[in-house]
Amino acid sequence: MRTVTLKRVVVTGLGALTPIGNDVNTFWNSLKSGTGGAGPITRFDTTEFKTKFACELKGFDIEKFMEKKEARKMDMFTQYAMVAAQEAVEHAGLHLDGVDKTQIGVIWASGNGGMQTFEDQIVEFTQTNFVPKFNPFFIPKLISDIAAGQISMKYGFMGVNYCTVSACASSSSALVDAFNYIRLGKANAIVAGGSEAPVTRAGIAGFNALKALSTRNDDPSTASRPFDADRDGFVMGEGAGAIILEEYEHAVKRGATIYAEMVGGAMTADAYHLTATHPEGLGARLGMERALEDAELKPEDVDYINAHATSTPLGDVSELKGITGVFGDHLNKINISATKSMTGHLLGAAGAIEAIACIKATQFDIVPPTINTGTLGEGIPTNLNLTIGKAQERTVNVAMSNTFGFGGHNAIVVFKKYKA
């Protein structure tokens, strides 16, 4: 029987494009200060929409990163991916002429792919009496895997390359897969993450039809309020997050700066409902238990949990039930926070940017806050430290990030403060 010695996997580069910052440092500073990103939608006329606000990117110009003719070949979700990946590759100091590109891969996530591309083409199709004169870039711009392909082509990375699609758990799934490839010795480094561009007419109307979005149009800045008694749904966000995961010895040999260590991850299913989480959080609980087992950690080792907590009435409660089932009496020593209160919900990209929040928390011993939460809602335990209102300084040796998606997909990742 073949035995495999698992390799250490470390974080050597980060990239972020978010509604509260167009790079990692700005994003982290906004998280620490409790800056929210919600406001009226500027991209289209919302007169007939139930929800008229979102967490949009601000001051973003793709032509600062690529020529217009190249950008036109990409949907926004791919543009976002390219920008975040570029920051991460540069941050990691990956000198392309000094690495074996056949051993570097890309595992990139998107829950929806090219929503704007699909919407635009179908609108044009109906306006031309259904004459099928489609743009030749329609399919390449639309498909969810194209971002991974575009990143690999830009840098010449010839290792593993594919897309994970598990709704709002997508980019956490990408991180788990990348982690496993590297620790099994099948890659030296992987660009892992996700991007999403769902602030479109179809995106907003579709989630409105599910009654998933907040309709707090009179006060969008406080609409994302996880755990609050008056929460009424999530706030749509957009953007991308990229993380360079790398085999430890490879990183040390090339003199890379190491920001954290990824030590565990797990994926499970609720096997319960199309869009609702299990009311007792059973799938989430199983995922957290397996992630800790994978990391060879105990519940009492965890200092911080970045909760999925989207600000929906049912989801927030069920997640906390799952967390309580795993951590029990240790819960009063753990910080929990919901950074979606600031970024909105980036769907398939949520896991990546929330993993970055966890990595930064272990690096700087700061837990970002949950904002907009006043009176706790029914079913929300009052004895938990939900890091409400203000960031808290504390030792963060281990941080866990939860992500859950429609279809009952759960993905959990665990990071540890780096020690040589």
In the set 168, 278, 358, 409, the catalytic residue is 168
What residues does 409 pair with on adjacent strands? 269, 405
- Interval 195-235: pLDDT, tens: 999 999 999 999 999 999 999 999 999 999 999 999 999 99
Task: Specify the pTM.
Answer: 0.97
> How many CB atoms sit inside 10 A of residue 144's CB?
25
Residue type, 262: M
In the set 163, 308, 358, 409, the catalytic residue is 308
Query: For residues 346 and 326, what is the distance between their CA atoms, to the nearest angstrom?
Result: 26
Who's near 67: CB < 8 A, 6+ residues apart? none
User: Is 308 annotated in the active site?
Assistant: yes
> How many CB atoms sit inside 10 A of residue 296's CB?
9
Is pLDDT at 96 greater than 90 in this prediction?
no
Give the pLDDT confidence score for residue 133 in this predicted structure: 85
Mean of the per-residue pLDDT values of the chain: 97
Mean pLDDT of 71-94: 98
**What separation, in Å, do the N-terminal and C-terminal C-alpha atoms of the chain show?**
31
User: If DSSP states are collapsed to H, E and C, what string results for 189-231?
Assistant: EEEEEEEECCCCHHHHHHHHHCCCECCCCCCHHHCCCCCECCC
* Residue closest to 331 by CA, chosen among 263, 380, 275, 273: 380
Residue with tokens 């309020």: 225
Name the strand (E) or helix (H) holding 106.
strand 104-109
Give the pLDDT confidence score for residue 351 in this predicted structure: 99
Residue with tokens 């051993």: 103
Q: Residue 4: pLDDT band by 50, 70, 90 thresholds?
A: confident
What are the backbone dihedrals phi and psi of residue 370, each rounded to the nearest 5 degrees, phi first? -100, 120
Query: What is the third-level CATH fold of 266-416?
Result: Peroxisomal Thiolase; Chain A, domain 1 (3.40.47)
Do the domains spanning 9-253 and 266-416 agree at the CATH topology level?
yes
3-state percent breakdown (helix, strand, coil) of the chain, nearest 5: 40, 20, 40
Mean pLDDT of 149-171: 98
- Interval 241-263: pLDDT, tens: 999 999 999 999 999 999 999 99
Give the pLDDT confidence score for residue 235 in this predicted structure: 99
Is pLDDT at 131 greater than 90 in this prediction?
no
Q: Residue 2: pLDDT band by 50, 70, 90 thresholds?
A: confident
Q: Residue 61: pLDDT band by 50, 70, 90 thresholds?
A: very high
Instruction: Give strand ranges (E) for 300-377.
Output: 304-306, 335-337, 366-367
User: Is 358 annotated in the active site?
Assistant: no
Is pLDDT at 1 greater than 80 in this prediction?
no
Give the pLDDT confidence score for residue 414 in this predicted structure: 99
Query: For residues 350 and 339, what is the distance between their CA atoms, to the nearest angstrom?
Result: 10
* Residue closest to 12 by CA, chosen among 91, 86, 73: 91
> 365 near 334, Cβ under 8 Å?
no
Give the pLDDT confidence score for residue 357 in this predicted structure: 99
User: Is 168 annotated in the active site?
Assistant: yes
In the set 91, 250, 278, 345, the catalytic residue is 345
For the range 33-36, what are the long-range contacts, defined as Cβ-Cβ under 8 Å and sequence gap of 24 or more?
Answer: 33/391, 34/342, 34/368, 34/369, 34/371, 34/389, 34/390, 34/391, 35/342, 36/221, 36/222, 36/224, 36/341, 36/342, 36/371, 36/372
Give the pLDDT confidence score for residue 129 in this predicted structure: 84
- Interval 351-389: pLDDT, tens: 999 999 999 999 999 999 999 999 999 999 999 999 999
> 346 near 317, Cβ under 8 Å?
no
- Residue spans of the domains in the chain: they are 9-253, 266-416
Give the pLDDT confidence score for residue 88 in this predicted structure: 99
* Residue closest to 305 by CA, chosen among 391, 250, 385: 385
Residue with tokens 């749509």: 236
Q: What is the CATH number of domain 9-253?
A: 3.40.47.10
Q: Residue 420: pLDDT band by 50, 70, 90 thresholds?
A: confident
Name the strand (E) or helix (H) holding 104.
strand 104-109
